[in-house]
Structure 1
Amino acid sequence: MDNNNKTLVKELTKLLLGGNAHADMKTAVKGLPAELRGAVPDKLPYSIWQLVEHIRIAQWDMLRFCMDPHHKSPKWPEEYWPKESAPKNDEAWNESLEQINNDLDEFIGILEHSNLYEQIPGGSGQTILLEALQMADHTSYHVGEIIAIRRLLGAWK
């Protein structure tokens, strides 16, 4: 990998992990009281739990798409959003966050060992670079929503 690609991968990794121009996922959910995970503020369509699960499902889908040319994505939109507003228990919450972190680490590994510009087999022109940008954009958008909901619930710094 040449220096330009190493620099690009380094910057994409920072973007995916968050914390530069926007808060990262870990910060957004840190210290959130369990009883607020399923709270749906007035006039909003979802809870923090539903946003966390949506991030997990979408990121998992993007990761698998990059790895398996036969991957079948969930049905949009119903299979990308959980119906229940709250996790069943602390274990479900923790497992969702753990999968988000693990899948992100796995995707960063792909970034580090792939041709960023080569089309992904089974896709319609997508590249690892495009998927990295989409994943970062999607996650940061919903992390911002998590923080906004926390503010509405009086549970943010």
Structure 2
Amino acid sequence: MKTERVTTEKEIDALVREQLAELLKGGFAPNVILLREFDYNKAGVMLDGLHFSAWVLLGHIRARHQTLLNFMKDPANNDNVWPDAHWPENHQPQSEQEWNDAIDAYERELDEMIALVQNPITDLFEVQANGKTRSWAAMTTLHHTGYHIGQLKTVGRQLGVW
């Protein structure tokens, strides 16, 4: 198998953007697909020993995601990138529509972040006043989301979703 070496700054930039976008989607296990597969009727179940349901996880993921997306869109006015964690107080959605609307909103926000990452005009590596970069925000988003999507997947398996 022949490998290809990326050599120019433009090629490296394009490769980084492509890989970040792929990982933000969830890589081999796309986040939106997993959320859409999760049975709404089980979204509010809290297993013994856990302080969250799938609904709480989705709310927590979205809150952190919105903070990081706002930083990426306007870093000068959104420099508090790691405020206290938001954990929704209600553990279940009020309706299937609310569940689906939250997933739709997550997908729109994710698409917006991916568009920023993929846009060659977006400076991913400019260090902001808080010492962070847009690439840091994208990588933090994918790490944070991946962690909690793993929890959601585990909860789903325990509840018989998958």
Q: Scaled by the length of structure 2, what TM-score is found?
A: 0.85
Within 1, Cα distance between the matches of 2:65 and 2:21? 14
> Does residue 1:101 correspond to 2:133, yes or no?
no
Report percent identity of matched pairs.
27
Within 1, Cα distance between the matches of 2:83 and 2:26? 28
Within 1, Cα distance between the matches of 2:133 and 2:56? 28
Match of 1:49 in 2: 55
**Would the aligned equivalents of 1:119 and 1:126 in 2 still touch at CA under 8 Å?**
yes
> Does residue 1:7 correspond to 2:15, yes or no?
yes
- Report the Cα offset of residue 112 of structure 1: 2.2
Match of 2:77 in 1: 70
- Report the Cα offset of residue 73 of structure 1: 6.5
**Would the aligned equivalents of 2:24 and 2:138 in 1 still touch at CA under 8 Å?**
yes
Match of 1:37 in 2: 43
- Structure 1 residues not aligned, in runs of 5+: none
Match of 2:3 in 1: none
> Does residue 1:146 correspond to 2:152, yes or no?
yes
- Report the Cα offset of residue 65 of structure 1: 1.5
> Does residue 1:116 correspond to 2:124, yes or no?
yes
Equivalent residue letter for 1:9: R
**Would the aligned equivalents of 2:25 and 2:32 in 1 still touch at CA under 8 Å?**
no
Equivalent residue letter for 1:19: G
Q: Scaled by the length of structure 1, what TM-score is found?
A: 0.87
Q: How many residues align?
A: 150
Within 2, Cα distance between the matches of 1:82 and 1:74? 17
Aligned pair partner of 2:67 in 43, 61, 67: 61
RMSD: 1.8
- Report the Cα offset of residue 140 of structure 1: 0.7
Within 2, Cα distance between the matches of 1:2 and 1:93? 41
